[in-house]
Structure 1
């Protein structure tokens, strides 16, 4: 991770209008100032409601409103692995009225989709990396392996017999498992699902044997024994699973992956607006209620200045390109 520290007129849905009103009411609370001339900040989330990134940004929504002194309205625009919503973002006004919150898929998509209507680097202005969450390689208890070394030995003894699920072709969870298969040099079949929910249900049910999933939703199942944790994907062990070794320390030293979220704006955003928005996130994440809420979602705060965030996007784009190439990941 890095060092830390014009669109078409849009008609609001009823849900978005209510959210707008709630944000405005929050800013009308004692101690906050909001004049009718202040505009809302529209936050495009190119992922579905209920996703990890959705929960994270909603966890800090009220604090961000307070820090910026304006309503914050979150709009989910999922589709095509994030391309649908990001297309709307890059075409938005370059005046600080619209930003987006993107995840790993932003730098994965250019390598797995044949074409996209925007450039993942040139068409955005990075504001800050907000935070990151660890993943864990899990197995159904019926799998005869209790750690990564045993899994590799089992897979090599039975090539093509084991399978792993993912939240969909080309997603970061797919790449996490594909990267393991590539580095371990084993033959394990891929079964794509449509989302994290169906994937988790079928791993728990034993319909699929393995998967790389987020630690937060898996932790309770690991502790109860309905899932077996084989290794965490991060460089260091995870505090919530202190007894689970990293994949890297179990014989795959190059393995490292985490799920990050970052705030971005359309390309060409004036420097004053970049500074204002970054400082807004900085102030929001300094509030205990925002920090605690984000940590409760399973995220480690990685507040990163704009220039360092831009460098991070470039390095992640190159790194994910190599992962996709090595694992031969394709989206039909």
Structure 2
């Protein structure tokens, strides 16, 4: 009798876990589609009496988000910017990994260190790993999806580099501590942020200013992003190789420190973009040849 009860209990728990995971996957894929997006950021509070608040940052665009790779425990979501009817720009990438124990923890000044979690710490959780336009890492965070009343929420706090909108303009802080909330609904999703801009000096953190961010993705007709699908079909082989080379570097679990700018003033993201364009122009079909060139380029920027 006791054995029967334990078997029944085990089956119920197994079904519950599988059901939760299925809902999680649906929520993650709920971030896919063609969207009109509004990005809004405003600094809200500073403990520094003499701090001068920066102007609000508001912009908008069209973005195509889709699953580019999928396995049982992983999904790769690609973001492409659609500009008018003729231009597409590779934007950013997010990898979702189920019960992932190997994370990258951002330190400061484009340096990341391995963060190894225990299995019990990530049970039922999904890691969101966010990557730059050139597939360089930005930040990772692990949390559980919550589902209620047709809405889906994932939230996490993690350290990150300065955002793209500020990293070439500001040097008064080193780390953006991000409180990310992703709300998925039937009409799209909202990426809500409560961010702390941190001055990091050794092991000491000092708050410079807080900001509120709202990235609102409103789903529109898929046909309005058709140009992005066509563009990615041509570009994908080259960027898959870029992703693969970065993946091999990160798989060593040794952390990472990058010089974003070379000694001659060139930028890593620009050099990778130019290299990919060169592959396309010269019809470089050999994937191994491409990977060697990509690896040699990235190695120039790595701090040993």
Higher RCO by CA contacts (8 Å cutoff, separation 6 or greater): 1
Larger relative helix fraction: 1
TM-score, scaled relative to structure 2:
0.27
Larger relative strand fraction: 2
